[in-house]
Amino acid sequence: MDLQVVEQVTRLDEWIAEGGVTVLSGAGLSTDSGIPDYRGPSGSARRGSPMTYQTFTGDPIARRRYWARSHLGWRTIGGALPNDGHRAVARWQESGLLNGVITQNVDGLHQAAGARDVVELHGNLARIVCLGCGELTPRAELGRRLDLANPGFAAVATAINPDGDVELDDAELTGFAVVDCRTCGGVLKPDVVYFGETVPAGRVTRAFELVGSARTLLVLGSSLTVMSGRRFVLRAVKEGIRVAIVNRGVTRGEPYADMVIDAPLGVVLPNLGRTPTAADF
């Protein structure tokens, strides 16, 4: 099995060296940065339901509960650093081997590693948007405002999800104060796509352009469970573009892929660019 992985990595290295690669990344790429996956071996299924746009905008109590949890979660997401996988992708781009990067992640770690012009399908937790006036502000600024508004808030999260939400007992939410937009008094929301929202059309169009112009679509750390990511694999197959997947565990893209490497991304990706041996795995 180890030798098979070595052979696959060697073949993938050849594909990347040919250039024209479009990367599609998911939560599994960020697990080595301390951000757990939803479904992979390093994570677990979320116990609660994710926040929906309808609930966030229509239920002030649910919104307060979300902001308390997300405020705690940002301490982990905001402090995360790029790992070897993110740096490998940035290195390929710097070498002119990539058409572009599409990510389902909202952690901004591709850019922190040096990648440019990343298509963030689901947005970025580091930005806050006002639903009233549309003003964008840094997450760090909101964090400072929430700290000032909640000087006694000392809750401890029991688990964190890749979207920055955490699991927290409701008893610890008592008295948590939410702040509004300083410009218009409107509701503030992370600049990310919630369940019930649609990915902005411009992002989807750009992502399909990157897939359509690729020689290889390389999926990194995504189970492709939801159509948000899987549709790009389906488009690649339709257009005769080869698909390679590096992911731990089951992926719904396997029936469509030319290559599936089930191995740790933190081991595979740094080895691309040099000849690996069985001892590396």
The H or E element spanning position 136 is strand 136-138
Distance in angstroms (rounded) separating the CA atoms of residues 187 and 181 = 6
* Inter-residue contact 65 to 155 (CB < 8 Å): no
The pair of three-digit structure tokens given for residue 57, joined into one six-digit string: 């905008």
How big is the chain by its Cα radius of gyration, in Å? 20
Nearest alpha carbon to residue 239 among 209, 201, 280, 205: 209
| 9 touches 15 (CB < 8 A) | no
Look up residue 257 and give its two tokens.
């892929």
Question: Catalytic: 86?
Answer: no
User: Distance between CA 112 and CA 125 in Å, rounded?
Assistant: 13
The single residue of 71, 86, 110, 122 carrying the catalytic annotation is 122
SS (H, E, C) 31-95: HHHCCCCCCCCCCCCCCCCCCEHHHHHHCHHHHHHHHHHHHHHHHHHCCCCCCHHHHHHHHHHHC
The answer to whether 24 and 220 have CB atoms below 8 angstroms apart is yes
Q: Which residues are catalytic?
A: 122
